[in-house]
């Protein structure tokens, strides 16, 4: 059966459940479930040699996967990530690409300020059908830590050359 999606449109949904052995609560010595799951969704559209855009996100959960040391409490560990990206083709030989990712491995109240941000911007040149030359800049930074410490962001310029054989 063909779904009535517009041409060049993609949507993907994903779910995964995994069962793990129970863990022992070190404070009460009771057994606790430690199962996890992940849900992800991708939505994108592309038109060859014109543009492509997309967004992808995921949510993950791990039963009793996070322990608050100060309160001696186990909580479900919840994490999420999102990525937004796109490419615009000026012509068949030159394209501009950008991407932004946000990742937070643990959204518990006592585990704040552990998020990560990543970005990329690139200009791709295709001087030959089998060769891509892409100068690009990557940047990465983290949320400020609760104690006020700042992690220095990294900015990395580079050139990627790809040959197809």
Measure the CA–CA gap between 163 and 104, rounded to whole angstroms: 35
Measure the CA–CA gap between 43 and 19, rounded to whole angstroms: 28
Domain boundaries, the chain: 9-163
pLDDT tens track, the chain, 165 positions? 445 567 788 999 999 998 888 878 777 788 888 889 999 999 999 998 899 999 999 999 888 767 766 666 777 788 899 999 999 999 999 999 999 999 987 776 666 667 889 999 999 999 999 999 999 999 998 877 767 777 888 999 999 999 998
Biggest alpha carbon–alpha carbon distance for the chain: 66
Predicted pLDDT of residue 122: 97
Predicted pLDDT of residue 2: 47
Measure the CA–CA gap between 55 and 45, rounded to whole angstroms: 10
Query: What's the pTM?
Result: 0.79
């Amino acid at each position: 059966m063909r779904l009535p999606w517009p041409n060049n449109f993609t949507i993907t949904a994903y779910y995964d459940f995994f069962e793990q052995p129970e863990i022992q609560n070190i404070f009460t010595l009771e057994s606790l479930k430690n199962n996890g799951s992940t849900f992800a969704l991708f939505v994108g559209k592309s038109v060859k040699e014109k543009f492509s855009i997309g967004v992808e996100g995921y949510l993950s959960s791990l039963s009793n996967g996070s322990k608050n040391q100060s309160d001696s409490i186990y909580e479900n560990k919840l994490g999420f990530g999102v990525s937004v990206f796109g490419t615009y083709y000026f012509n068949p030989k030159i394209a501009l690409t950008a991407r932004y990712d946000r990742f937070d491995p643990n959204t518990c109240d006592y585990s704040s300020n552990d998020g990560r941000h990543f970005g990329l911007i690139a200009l791709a040149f295709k001087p030959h059908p089998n060769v891509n030359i892409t100068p690009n800049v990557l940047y990465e930074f983290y949320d400020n830590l609760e104690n006020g410490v700042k992690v220095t962001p990294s900015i990395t310029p580079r050139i990627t050359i790809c040959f197809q054989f």
